[in-house]
Amino acid sequence: MNRNNNESSDNNSAPLNAQSIASLCRTLGCDIDVVVLPTVGSTNTWLLENNNITAAVTLCAAEHQTIGRGRRGRTWHSPHSGVTFSIRLHRPEPVTRFQGLSLLVGALLCDQLRDIGASDAMLKWPNDVLVNHAKLAGILIETSISASAESATTVVIGIGINYRRGPEAQLIDQNSTDLYQICGAKLPDRSELIARIASRVIKAVVGDVPLAVENLASRWSDYDAIADLEVVVDSAGAQVAGRTVGIDAIGGLLLDTDNGRQVFSSAEVSVRSR
């Protein structure tokens, strides 16, 4: 990303620092390994395919992703000096224990973004953080079952935040925003932001995820960017229209349709024109 002289003093110009991220995570109660890469195809892929990782929790952050991924094979456009990172955790629990995890991570991400000035951050089910209907951040969660024990799961949580975009903003095929537009010159330090988000997420994942998702369902209105809206849900190629009525105890989207209430565990949602 090009920066002119009056931009060079903001925190966007400070390189990511693995030691700073790890140190603050420890201060916040999380002992993790941290790797910072100048360039990588995808931080999620790097963590999933790296067979040399032995730590219980590893965080990989990158100054630049060349083939960042979103849900359903979409591209996440990542500028240089952005906020793009993934967390890998090995958990002695079956994969079914992580239903609704994207919503839980999304709510925690909203909490942190609100703390730094994005007070209107909301979550569009299942994994987009919006501010005033514009996308600010996205989440990609991938899981794999241990080859040696079906009751063990490797969870990789990818988070990308539009920090301060440049020309790549033209490549985004939806309404979007970034932290610079929201915070102006008071941009948070990127290493500190990553550490604070990661610590919240790690504590949640090593805790009781099903209970946390169930509790989130009871206060979903605090985060719901599509509350009580007419939407179209695309699930496995079938489109269903209806009005949103929250989420269930495991994070499924509840939709009132002409054929009654339906629940969706994985789908794409678009708001119908008003």
**pLDDT at 74 exceeding the cut of 60:** no
Q: What pLDDT score does 154 carry?
A: 94
> To the nearest whole number, what is the mean pLDDT of the chain?
89
pTM: 0.89
- Mean pLDDT throughout 244-272? 95
Query: What's the token pair of residue 66?
Result: 């060349």
The domains located in the chain, with CATH, are 5-221 (3.30.930.10), 226-271 (2.30.30.100)
Q: Is residue 159 a contact partner of residue 204, using CB atoms and an 8 Å limit?
A: no
Q: What pLDDT score does 185 carry?
A: 80
pLDDT in tens, 151-173: 899 999 999 999 987 655 555 65
**pLDDT at 251 exceeding the cut of 70:** yes
Apex 213 CA angle, 210 and 217, nearest 5:
140
Query: What's the token pair of residue 26?
Result: 């420890």
Q: Which residues contact 169 (CB under 8 A, 6 or more apart)?
A: 77, 176, 178
Q: Facing residues of 31 across strands?
A: none
Reduced DSSP (H G I as helix, E B as strand, rest coil) percent helix, strand, coil of the chain, to 5: 30, 30, 35
